[in-house]
Amino acid sequence: MAHDLSEVAHALIRGVAIFALITLAYGFLTRNVAAIVSKGVAVGMAFGLAAVYAMSDPFTLAPGVIIDARAVILVLSAPFGGSIAAIVSGTIAGTYRISLGGAGAPVGVTVIFASVTIGMVCARLLERHDGGYNIRQLVMLATAGTGQSLLLLLIPFFAPGINASAMIVPHVIANWIGILLLGGFLTNENRRRHEARALERFAITDPLTGLLNRRAFDWSVAEAVNASGQLKGRTGLLIVDIDNFKSFNDRWGHAVGDQVLRHVAEAIKEEVRNVDTVARFGGEEIVVLLPALDVARASAVAERIRTTIDENVFHFSKIVGNVTVSIGVAVGEPAVTFVELFNAADQALYRAKALGRNRIDIDPVPLDTPIAA
């Protein structure tokens, strides 16, 4: 019996050998394949195939009755991949266990269902921070995950003569350690990706407004032009400047000026499309790159932005501390370079300021029609 118990523990711990591979696959899928198919499906397939691999190298308790590390993997599918991942992985593992057949198949499928269910419940109760779980949460997850070990007590009903109760303690210990280890691996992987994304956002985001910064805007421009600097397609550009912004800083302090900038940025984001690029260009200027818009529609966007800010952004009230913007609008065809487009919008902004502020001005140069050679 001691030999059997050591074999059970060895079979479960053997699954630890694939934990590193699961972690690598998880990181790769969430970074790459998940851009093509949903993250849940990608992670679910990885976890499901890992469970199949665990079942392909089990400890055979009796003909058709196997013990392996599948539960460790399946318990963690929902916490790290979501409900869809849990359903996909459980379906793959359950289908494979049924195909193996044997007297233990009903218990095996029940273990799979229980593991996935425990994982889904834990995923709802435990909140991830920075992409992973802390040690206390992992211990709770591991403890809950070992609950499926009690299902071994059902084996004698399907395979009489097998004393499964002696296997429960090593089964619980091995599963507890396995969930803790694999959960730790996956947490570290998630946190590495979380930190990398945070660094990427920091590099391209203006910390005050949350908009893209000048560097990110330059990248967007690089994608919008060809090698010679000409636009690849019809492109609109708005340059938004907060009227009398210096007075906010002088009268109420820089904290109020910063608040005004944030509110203006939020108002602009509400009025543009997902495909548009909004960036803080410098100081109180915000630029908006509008692909595939003609003059009429670009002007309509600019007027919506101006109206929204005029009506909704202020310090104390619309009478005291009201905020307005002036906007220069220009649209160019592929024959136009981005420098020409920017200069046209900048000139339009200058005119809007000179004509009284709180208005838009459209560049009169026919940049929205191809320039003759």
Residues 172 and 279 in one domain: no
The CATH number covering residue 303 comes to 3.30.70.270
Residues 318 and 199 in one domain: no
What Cα–Cα distance (Å) separates residue 357 from each residue in 90, 361, 371? Answer: 62, 10, 31
pLDDT at 7: 57
Residues 192 and 231 in one domain: no
Residues 65 and 124 in one domain: yes
b/e map of 212-248 (b: 16 or more CB within 10 Å)?
bbeebbeebbeebbeeeebbeebbbbbbbbbbebeeb
Tens of pLDDT along the chain (373 residues)? 444 555 555 555 555 567 767 777 777 777 666 444 578 888 899 999 999 988 887 767 666 666 788 899 999 999 999 999 999 999 999 999 999 988 888 999 999 999 999 999 999 999 888 778 999 999 999 999 999 988 888 888 877 777 777 778 888 888 898 899 899 989 998 888 888 777 777 788 898 999 999 989 999 999 999 888 889 999 999 999 999 998 888 888 888 889 999 999 999 999 999 999 999 998 899 999 999 999 999 999 999 999 999 999 887 767 677 899 999 999 998 889 999 999 999 999 999 999 999 999 998 755 544 443 3
The token duo for 124 is: 């709802």
Whether residue 353 lies inside any domain: the answer is: yes
Indicate the pTM of the whole model.
Answer: 0.63
Question: Three-class SS of residue 86?
Answer: helix
The token duo for 326 is: 């002036």
pLDDT at 228: 81
Paired strand residues for 282: 285
Residues 133 and 43 in one domain: yes
Residues 158 and 245 in one domain: no
State the Cα angle at 37 between 36 and 39, rounded to 5°: 115
Rounded to 10 degrees, what is the CA torsion of 308, 311, 317, 321?
Answer: 60
Q: Which domain holds residue 163?
A: 2-203
pLDDT at 260: 92
pLDDT at 314: 83
Amino acid at 333: E
d(CA 146, CA 75): 9
Count structural domains, the chain. Answer: 2
Last residue of a domain, one of 203, 223, 238: 203
Whether residue 370 lies inside any domain: the answer is: no
For 165, which DSSP code?
A: G
pLDDT at 169: 84
Residues 28 and 128 in one domain: yes
Last residue of a domain, one of 203, 226, 256: 203
Last residue of a domain, one of 151, 176, 203: 203
pLDDT at 55: 87
Residues 193 and 235 in one domain: no
Report residue 320 CA to chain centroid gap: 41
State the Cα angle at 285 between 339 and 345, rounded to 5°: 35
pLDDT at 371: 40
